[in-house]
Structure 1
């Protein structure tokens, strides 16, 4: 019988596995996306919240503009395409510009839930792009919400928007109409009123109107097309640069309409890296017998994987993934990842089973674990994200005050 040969990844034959404790854990409790809204509403006098991000001063009216996929490093690398945003990196307009961390994994569903609830993935429970539902044993896509799961059972905590609204703050979300009634909106961004606006310009104008709608206001607005261009064409593409130029004009349009006593905060849910083609950069799980051995389900995404082992195989899967991925990924057991704080300072019991038996996070900017058969769309993407590298983790927190 001919024995199968080991897959070739183009990596060192005897790599030294990266220790999980060397991964740069997000700045939970003081400098992450989950700390932004608690800080803002604490400054508005909403009880139960504390001032977590010390550099931010209170304002009566706060607007958060979240630009999907705009990483701190990508913004700093493109000053010509984003002159207005670049000007906010300093303090020339009465505000400050600094990076904050997205949280792990650095992916949209997890980050939006962190923003809206003021909690971290280990407690709100949206701990990946796809995770296993412990009740059904199926993979759940938490961005598309498939298969259907009762939203407020999956994420039971109230949003900050709801709590601020109940405290008398004028609260609104201004976004594309397609997001008006999605499960992710319900459990992460609902509270007050939702205002659907198709064009980016209309969103900026309407956000300014809503901001002026109360003596104390909390307004959220969102733009997704930059992220889409990055996934399809990469952040080194004309399409991505064109979207960045448009976003820059949107931010300036909104900033110039701020009513008195307002603060505008521009941020993002994650950064992005371009993954080259070829086996040296893309490991296809569906074609790799070593990585797939003993694995029942593969969750997460290319840069941040949840690996669910068949019963009794978790230790062997952990050993194999460390040996195969070597120095390219931080590979941890579930217990290690939780103890190291990858998902925040606490992990709710209902969330533990959603985290993989093995968690693998890319440590280099040019590698990913794809799945060409089970994830053909995601595997074809140029731009990817999810891990704890600076290019993915650091997102801007830019401030304009009136």
Structure 2
């Protein structure tokens, strides 16, 4: 079993530790300086390595970022799993959001964990049962706020991850950060979450080496240059990073190649597939075949191997286990794997992608600003 996590999920320098670090700072304890209020700014898709590579276009963040201001994400390095880990302080094996598209074992269908909640009839409170950081903070008497797009206010994903917070809608990144800092200053003891998706969107569409991605980075950097009020700490991080996948690095899994033989569903996303086999399939033979045929493209492991290696965290619940693929295909280098029979083929147009275990996807910034700054 060659795969190992780049760093422990229970490390304070992992995104699973961010929630407790912020709560501790509000209590005047922990490794962060005590603060009057705390802001968690999440820049979706901003890896630590691409940020450092483009330091000249992010002078505010680069100036605030020391060599120690980076940490690890979770597996898979995808928004549904990683944002939930950030906002619950638990690994995917505990909160159950184990990928982008996973199987609902009760109905035997694939579910997009960002968008399919209502259409699939999934209850966010039972599907994702771990207490959020907002519920934990509110139980201790702290005001809690989550700032994002108005379209996300009542989404299933928001109900799964933001419950306990008062949702505040703001259109632009500048408005969101300004609102976050205002709320932190106006409400003593507040915990404020601010979600910034612009860089992730630019990376998916244009790639991280594009002028559009650099422009998005410059915009976010300027937004985060706003003055942080006295006694307010701001932690800037991300859910995952990203790699560019050129067209010649794409592998299409079609029926002509026998990729669907013995396979019931292919979920996940192009850089980390959850592969669900037919009930009567010979899983050992399929595992051997996928490993052989994807040699050089991806590492293929069984569900048992992935869980035993700790990829989903130390404790994997029965609910999470039932959603993990029988096989996992984890892309190497900058490859991507596409299911030719998937209903939604929009992902094949994406340049920037994530989900696997490269340092570019795994390493994220943990930048301390305002009263948190060293």
User: Please, what TM-score do these two structures have when normalized by structure 1?
Assistant: 0.87
| Aligned equivalents of 1:123, 1:69: Cα separation in 2 | 23
Task: Tell me the equivalent position of 1:165.
Answer: 138
Task: Tell me the equivalent position of 2:239.
Answer: 269
Task: Tell me the equivalent position of 2:331.
Answer: 362
Query: In 2, are the aligned partners of 1:73 and 1:391 still within 8 Å (CA)?
Result: yes
Secondary structure of 2:225's match? Answer: helix
| Aligned equivalents of 2:339, 2:297: Cα separation in 1 | 18
Task: Tell me the equivalent position of 1:215.
Answer: 188
| Aligned equivalents of 1:341, 1:25: Cα separation in 2 | 11
Counterpart among 50, 55, 76 of residue 74 in structure 1: 50
Task: Tell me the equivalent position of 1:187.
Answer: 160
Task: Tell me the equivalent position of 2:259.
Answer: 291
Query: Does 20-29 or 205-214 show the bigger shift?
Result: 20-29
| Aligned equivalents of 1:288, 1:262: Cα separation in 2 | 58
Query: In 2, are the aligned partners of 1:264 and 1:400 still within 8 Å (CA)?
Result: yes
Counterpart among 93, 97, 105 of residue 134 in structure 1: 105
| Aligned equivalents of 1:252, 1:287: Cα separation in 2 | 51
Superposition deviation, residue 290 in structure 1: 3.5
| Aligned equivalents of 1:60, 1:338: Cα separation in 2 | 40
* Alignment of structure 1 residues 298-313 onto 2, 5 Å: 298-313=266-281
| Aligned equivalents of 2:353, 2:179: Cα separation in 1 | 31
| Aligned equivalents of 2:219, 2:255: Cα separation in 1 | 40
Superposition deviation, residue 373 in structure 1: 4.1
Superposition deviation, residue 33 in structure 1: 1.1
Secondary structure of 2:368's match? Answer: strand
Secondary structure of 1:248's match? Answer: helix
Superposition deviation, residue 117 in structure 1: 1.0
Task: Tell me the equivalent position of 1:64.
Answer: 40
- Answering whether residue 24 of structure 2 is matched by residue 24 of structure 1, we say no
| Aligned equivalents of 1:26, 1:355: Cα separation in 2 | 21
Counterpart among 134, 144, 147 of residue 115 in structure 2: 144
Task: Tell me the equivalent position of 1:108.
Answer: 79
Q: What's the CA shift string for 1:78-136, capped at 9, x where partnerless?
A: 0121111111122xxxxx85211110000011111111111110010110000011111
Query: In 2, are the aligned partners of 1:123 and 1:347 still within 8 Å (CA)?
Result: yes
Q: Which runs of 5+ in 2 are unaligned?
A: none
Query: In 2, are the aligned partners of 1:331 and 1:359 still within 8 Å (CA)?
Result: yes
Report how many residues are paired.
366
Task: Tell me the equivalent position of 2:214.
Answer: 241
Query: Does 21-30 or 61-70 show the bigger shift?
Result: 21-30
Query: Does 217-226 or 139-148 show the bigger shift?
Result: 139-148
Structure 2 CA distance for partners of 1:360 and 1:23, relative to 1, 3 Å? farther
| Aligned equivalents of 2:121, 2:207: Cα separation in 1 | 31
Superposition deviation, residue 286 in structure 1: 2.6
Query: In 2, are the aligned partners of 1:61 and 1:218 still within 8 Å (CA)?
Result: yes
Counterpart among 353, 366, 374 of residue 397 in structure 1: 366
Structure 2 CA distance for partners of 1:232 and 1:288, relative to 1, 3 Å? farther
Counterpart among 297, 308, 319 of residue 288 in structure 2: 319
- Answering whether residue 63 of structure 2 is matched by residue 87 of structure 1, we say yes
Superposition deviation, residue 214 in structure 1: 2.6
Larger CA Rg, structure 1 vs 2: 1
User: How much is the aligned-residue C-alpha RMSD, in angstroms?
Assistant: 1.7
Q: What's the CA shift string for 1:248-283, capped at 9, x where partnerless?
A: 001112xx1x222221111111111111112xx111
Secondary structure of 2:267's match? Answer: strand
User: Please, what TM-score do these two structures have when normalized by structure 2?
Assistant: 0.93
Secondary structure of 1:318's match? Answer: helix
Superposition deviation, residue 317 in structure 1: 1.6
Q: What's the CA shift string for 1:319-377, capped at 9, x where partnerless?
A: 1111111143221110110010001111001111100000111221x211012441310
Query: In 1, are the aligned partners of 2:69 and 2:368 still within 8 Å (CA)?
Result: no
Superposition deviation, residue 397 in structure 1: 0.5
